Amino acid sequence: MSEKKPFAWETGIAWKNKDRIVVRGYDVNELTGNISFAEHFHLVLRGELPTPEVGRMTEAIMVNMAEHAMSPSSATVRFATSGGAELNAAVAAGVAGIGRLHGTADRPADLFRAVAERADRDGLSDTEAAAKVVAEMRERRERMPGFHHAQHIRDPRTERLLGLADELGITGRYVTIARAMEDATEDVFGRRVWINGPGSMGCVGLDMGYEPLQLKAMFIVCRSLSLCAHSIEEVTREKGWRASANSDMVQPLSLEMQGPDHYDGPADRKLP
């Protein structure tokens, strides 16, 4: 019987010893001061340095998506902080609040890929496949990830990201599919349903070569900056619990918000 080799974490990402730290084959000190964080993000996730255009577009997306004022993730961070959670725990709570309906770029990316696969399988143009998929999703009353934004309707981030993708020569098949789907909504819905920020991130990201999960990682990384800021502001500006009766506004945890006037469950009852 051959001897088993000692356990080790096998990875193609990085290695270190007491003298060196090497990331994807590059000494970290050579990278330091010579590449941007967005370029480093691409290197760590995808294994190679990006082209200048992809590096600039990656940085643009991360700036564009880093902060979005009060959203499910930032509100979650503030609640966790108000309960005394440490910064890392509060940010982790906020990251956990990034889900199917908030901060996702992987789901629209998956949708755009599905349209491309439909076109290839059925011998359709991308425009025809886009229209068919939109109509079928409407018929099933299925939400279209990457389209519409409850707060903006027409997301102000989208035009800038898609315009920059055009300018940098990044626009390819997936941005074209996303735009064709948006065009198709006019006939299917009787109104235009606009591509939102995560939708634009999804199609541009695919055209840059990112995988859907890598785009989700990109959102988590850049939005964590915002989550840190919200936690630090909460702990330095506000009292714990966000429920003080001395506050000049009704706070979310105030008993005023939790009394019988805001309860619509069963009336008072006794055990038989």
The predicted model scores a pTM of 0.90
Sign of the C-alpha dihedral computed for residues 52, 53, 54 and 59 taken in this order: positive
Buried/exposed code over 128-164 (b: 16+ C-beta within 10 A; e: otherwise):
bbbbbbbeebeeeeeebbbbbbeeeeebebbeebbeb
pLDDT, tens only, 27-86: 999 999 999 999 999 999 999 999 999 999 999 999 999 999 889 999 999 999 999 999
The pLDDT tens digits for 14-33 are 999 999 999 999 999 999 99
Sign of the alpha-carbon dihedral angle for 188, 189, 194, 199? negative
Instruction: Say how far apart CA 241 and CA 235 lie, in whole Å.
Output: 10
Res 239 pLDDT > 90: no
Q: Which two tokens stand for residue 258?
A: 């939790």
CB 161 within 8 A of CB 202: no
The C-alpha R_g of the chain, in whole angstroms, comes to 23
